[in-house]
Amino acid sequence: MYEKINVDLIRNSGIRIVDLRSDTISRPTPEMREAMYRAEVGDDVYVEDATVNALEKRCAELLGKEEAMFVVSGTMANLIAVMVHCNQRGSELISGDKGHTFKFEQGGTAHIAGVHTSIIKNNDDGTFSLDELRVKIRKNPDMHEPVTSLIIVENTHNLCGGKVVPLEWLEKVSNVAAEHNIPVHMDGARMMNAAVYLKLPPSRLVRDVDTVCFCLSKGLGCPIGAMLAGSSSFIEKARRVRKALGGGWRQAGVLAAPGLVALDSMVDRLQVDHIHALKIAKAIAELNSPVFRVDVSGVHTNIVIVHLDTLRVDPSDFKRRLMTVDDSDPVKVAVKCSQRDDWVRLVTYWEVTDDDVDHAIEKIRYVVGQF
């Protein structure tokens, strides 16, 4: 999925680079850099960093939760949540089979938290079967079984193309969980994109989950960081786990300051990223290619998944050709994307301009035509 490319060599050749690998590569805005310079700081392990405290208070209020905690990444936030909720040996969590915590967090729930994962097949919209969820929950487990201790959902759903999961489904998951006194955690790395898509406050999106995390990096443009929120008792335990994982910040206000800027100026503008992604998706769909397919109706936010007929095209070859600019190419643009299995992924973010989108579409059309 990740490939080292000599970007400097390409840039020095005068070729335009449009990097659509991920919104994780977004860089802080000038306002964020200024806020970092001027941030009031203290030792956050002692809860004495005023900027971190302000960010945590603001995020808790935004999400409608009692408290929030600033952590280094969404992966750390998810791991901490698992370790707090699944606090007895022999615990099990339930996740969709395309969930980020299951597929892309190095199995940390197992090899660090010691928690077993039971998976349910994700539907194309990021949901999973409630009937299967009921079956997966272990009722009164005997000594041979793990204990079901947590259910994890994801919103937006990365591997389902950045789709926003239905709120009605989240409510039903919560109801099933409540029947068995099991908490629900939302991996909401891009939940602000979901809030913008639904035109609803973030607190509504997380009303039916016990805990939630979201990234300040990615589309919001901060250089680093994620927020984890829940009840006061949950966050108290989460701070202990964060410290054990080496995540105790010291003068972290310089990193929290961009988060406050992001909440003021970067959330509503996510709609621009959604417009850009949809424009790219429509351009590919309009080619009517039998080899390259995009579900335009499923492009809710800033992620475009292009499915390939792998019997005719190797996704890695397509990815490489998008990045390559030959002397004879009429389009002097290098488009960077990520690739896995039978698809490539294109992700927009605040530094991707209207011109970038137009140039990327031009290059994609040319390469699709070649294949």
pLDDT tier at 371 (50, 70, 90 boundaries)?
confident
Query: 341: number of CA atoms within 13 Å, CB side?
Result: 6
Number of domains in the chain: 2
Mean pLDDT throughout 330-355? 96
Q: CA-to-CA distance for 109 and 115, rounded, in angstroms? A: 5
Instruction: Identify the H or E element spanning 197.
Output: helix 191-198
Q: What is the mean pLDDT of residues 327-356?
A: 95
Instruction: Indicate if 124 and 249 belong to the same structural domain.
Output: yes
For residues 244 and 274, membership in a common domain is answered with: no
- The CA–CA distances, whole Å, from 135 to 120, 171, 176, 224, 336 equal 10, 18, 11, 39, 42
Q: Are 122 and 140 part of one and the same domain?
A: yes
Listed residue (209, 351, 361, 222) closest to 281, CA to CA: 361
pLDDT of residue 10: 52
Q: Quick check: is 247 in a domain?
A: yes
Residue 199 class from Cβ within 10 Å (0-12 exposed, 13-18 middle, 19+ buried)? Answer: exposed
Residues contacting residue 242 through CB under 8 Å, at least 6 positions apart: 69, 71, 76, 80, 248
Structure confidence at residue 341 (pLDDT): 87
- The 8-class DSSP code of residue 296 comes to G
Least-confidence region, from 7-16, 65-74, 119-128, 165-174: 7-16
Q: Which of 246, 264, 282 is the last residue of a domain?
A: 264
* pLDDT for position 145: 96
Residue-range definition of the domain harbouring residue 14: 7-27+268-370
Same domain assignment for residues 140 and 71: yes
Q: For residue 363, what is the domain's CATH number?
A: 3.90.1150.10
Question: Is 2 contained in some domain?
Answer: no
**Spatial CB neighbours of 42, under 8 Å, sequence gap ≥ 6:** 48, 49, 50, 251, 253
Q: Is residue 48 part of a domain?
A: yes
* Structural domain includes residue 319: yes
Q: Is 34 left (phi over 0), alpha (psi -120 to 50) or beta?
A: alpha
Provide the mean pLDDT of the chain: 95
Beta strands in 108-162 (DSSP E): 116-120, 147-154
Helix (H, G, I), strand (E, B) or coil at 5: coil
Instruction: Please tell me whether residues 164 and 227 are part of one structural domain.
Output: yes
Confidence at 110, pLDDT banded by 50, 70, 90: very high
CATH of the domain at 225: 3.40.640.10
- Considering the domain architecture, whether residues 242 and 290 belong to the same structural domain is answered as no
Query: Are 186 and 309 in the same domain?
Result: no
User: What gap in Å lies between CA 37 and CA 149, rounded to an integer?
Assistant: 43
Q: Would 335 be classed as within a structural domain?
A: yes
* Residue 222 C-alpha from the chain's centroid: 14
Note whether residue 11 is domain-resident.
yes
Domain boundary among 264, 299, 324: 264
Q: Is the pLDDT of residue 6 over 80?
A: no
* pLDDT number for residue 9: 46
Please give the backbone phi and psi of residue 154, each rounded to the nearest 5 degrees, phi first: -135, 135
214 shares a domain with 108: yes
Same domain for 72 and 147, yes or no, is: yes
Q: Same domain, yes or no, for 330 and 275?
A: yes
d(CA 178, CA 188) in angstroms, rounded, equals 20
Instruction: Identify which of 200, 119, 178 has the alpha carbon closest to the alpha carbon of residue 153.
Output: 119
Average the pLDDT over 67-85 and give the result. Answer: 98
Is there a cis peptide before residue 117, judged by omega within 30 degrees of 0?
A: no
Q: Provide the token pair at 218.
A: 């990615």
Decide which of 249, 264, 279 is a domain's last residue. 264
Find the DSSP H helices in 4-107.
7-12, 30-38, 50-63, 74-85, 100-103
Residue with the two structure tokens 């490489």: 320
Q: What does the pLDDT look like over 276-315, one tens digit per residue? A: 999 999 999 999 999 999 999 999 999 999 999 999 999 9
Predicted confidence (pLDDT) at residue 14 exceeds the cutoff of 80: no
- Start-to-end CA distance of the chain, whole Å, equals 21
326 lies in some domain? yes
pLDDT at 5: 52
Q: What are the pLDDT digits (tens) for 204-249?
A: 999 999 999 999 999 999 999 999 999 999 999 999 999 999 999 9
129-159 pLDDT, tens digit per residue, is: 999 999 999 999 999 999 999 999 999 999 9
The reply to whether 1 falls in a domain is no
Q: Is the pLDDT at 57 greater than 90, yes or no?
A: yes
User: 257 and 277 share a domain?
Assistant: no
User: Which residues neighbour 85 within 8 Å (Cβ) at sequence distance 6 or greater?
Assistant: 93, 149, 150, 183, 185, 210, 211
Over residues 49-64, the mean pLDDT reads 98
166 and 211 fall within a common domain: yes
